[in-house]
Amino acid sequence: MKIQLEACTALDAEELYAFELENRLYFEQSIPSRGDDYYMPETFKQRHASLLQEQREGTSFFYLIKGEDGEILGRINLVDRDVTTKRVELGYRIGQNHTGKGIAKEAVRLLIGQCRKLDIKEIQAKTTDGNIASQKILTGNGFQQESKAVEVELNGQRMMLIQFKRTMLD
């Protein structure tokens, strides 16, 4: 499936809100909830505007993963940019109806290309020890596992968060 990354804008708020609502329960099976208030229209708009401000400031970068027809398939982000170390944290989520199609792997590959343009030298990412698909996406894109150091609780279950890192080669 051919995909493209598009930087988030204010014009995306309504469609992105619908995507998040549609996939809320699916996402909350594998990552902590963003809380009920996130899904209230006004709160969502305010948070979206705040993220766009971070993007304008260059501390974070938010992209929509879109299919050929322009439908949002997922989102992928680079957050907490450290301008001194040129390090960012990667996060992504693919809608339930679009998993298992190689979309996340391709989106991460495309985002790595963006990192070169943004002068980012290191990308960090975390996933749970049980999320084998995400681990394969990261390692398939050149990430190396760093540790299994952090124990967390998700939906009443204790699990380990695994830290990955990808260093950009010049």
Does the pLDDT value for residue 155 go beyond 80?
Answer: no
Q: Which domains does the chain have, with CATH numbers?
A: 3-167 (3.40.630.30)
- Cβ(55)–Cβ(62) below 8 Å: yes
Least confident span in 8-12, 96-100, 116-120, 150-154: 150-154
Reported pTM: 0.90
pLDDT, residue 164, reads 95
Non-local CB neighbours of 24 within 8 Å, separated by 6+ positions? 39
